[in-house]
Amino acid sequence: MIYLDHHATTPVDARVLETMLPFFTERFGNAASKQHRFGWEANDAIERARKQVASLIGAGSKDVVFTSGATEANNLAIKGAAEARRSDGDHLVTVVTEHKAVLDPLKRLESEGWRVTVLPVSSSGLVDLAELDAAITARTVLVSVMAANNEIGVLQPIKEAAALAHSKGAWFHTDAVQAVGKVPFDVDALDVDLVSITAHKIYGPKGAGALYVRRPSTSLRASNRGVKIAAQMDGGGHERGMRSGTLNVPGIAGFGRAAELAQAEMPSEATRVTGLRDRLLEALGATTDGMTVNGTLDARLPGNLNVSFEGIDGEALLVSLDDVAVSSGAACTAAEPSHVLVALGLSKDRARASLRFGIGRTTTAAEVDYAARKVSDVVTRLRAMSPV
């Protein structure tokens, strides 16, 4: 089966697995054990990974807090910032196309009395910076805008959005899960305060993520602004008091190695997968009528393509692609279509008849060509069966 769903997850790179394996067996110590060699080795692995992850995003290693994944990192950033700044305001701002790991924590805060503004996007998938500026008030404590969308791959103007937040005293968080490791991302150049990332989107293991938390800095490229968030998990004061719990040493060691590989290979890999994405789009466009690209192609992840088809039943489309692993905005049995595609202005039927292709490190030109032929054949057959 051909795997073209790299935005959902990625296979663990063999080089990453090699790094992880010793920490399951002979180097199995607890990183918090300070009295013997087993703990020292584990802690050394954690700190090495912390530097590797920090380097990928242009951060200092002390700014990286390890978590169980991006969902926890998003929750820690949003709820932790809100709790820390409760005396400063009561307002939060985000965008309608955010991942549920951002929207749901904000809903929870809204149920607790916070005011939340959810901004629309244009048909391109981009937030309007003028609307964002107008939404931020003196009572806004946090703005959260996703760096790269997990469905349509659109890259938001993070640097400009962060500047708007800071101009009115708000902190800025970005869910950068899909962007980091695939496109250049530098926390100082973007001047962001909180960044959520995870290992399993960059060929690392599931169950390891991180939150960047900006500390006061004297860097010439960065402001001296620092943030201090409230912990959401208590019990031992691990990770500088921001995330208690025994650290996942094998997963974090793998995360570090995955970050190191992504940083080294990003330029060449981005060029390669962009070429494959364009090859797929050209092949589909040449053989399939009534197809629309969802979201702008001008600011997009290298390996992302999201397209919708006119006059097609979405569930039948996915079921018929039996040997090509892709996804739609929503699962084929879901009652509601993708909230991202609906936000772009697609009808519910058109949103359901959409496919997200995620091209990755293991994808070949032959696989792309086969997938294009398969989709074209399926769309043609389904339209021939349709009574409309």
Nearest CA-CA partner of 320 in 369, 377, 282, 239 = 377
Helix (H, G, I), strand (E, B) or coil at 354: strand
188 an active-site residue? no
Nearest-angstrom CA–CA distance, 11 and 21: 16
Q: Supply 28's token pair.
A: 């199995």
Contacts of 323 (CB under 8 A, 6+ apart): 1, 2, 374
203: which residues sit within 8 A by CB, 6+ positions away? 10, 11, 12, 13, 16, 258, 261, 262, 361
Q: Which residues contact 198 (CB under 8 A, 6 or more apart)?
A: 69, 70, 73, 177, 208, 209, 210
Q: Which residues pair with 148 in a beta bridge?
A: 155
CA distance 379 to 346: 19
User: Tokens standing for 362?
Assistant: 């293991």
Residues 6+ positions from 255 with CB-CB distance below 8 Å: 49, 52, 53, 66, 199, 204, 205, 208, 209, 210
The active-site residue out of 118, 230, 283, 332 is: 332
Q: To 5 degrees, how large is the angle CA 177–CA 213–CA 179?
A: 20
Other CB atoms closer than 10 Å to residue 223's CB: what's the count? 13
- The torsion defined by the Cα of 316, 101, 5 and 292, in degrees rounded to 10, comes to 60
How far is CA 38 from its chain centroid? 34
Count of CA atoms in the C-beta half-sphere (13 A) of 334: 17
Structure-token pair, residue 56: 């990928």
Q: Distance between CA 320 and CA 378 in Å, rounded?
A: 7
27 SS3 class? coil
DSSP strand E in the chain: where? 2-3, 64-67, 91-95, 115-119, 140-144, 171-175, 194-198, 209-213, 291-293, 304-309, 324-325, 354-358
Catalytic residue numbers read 332
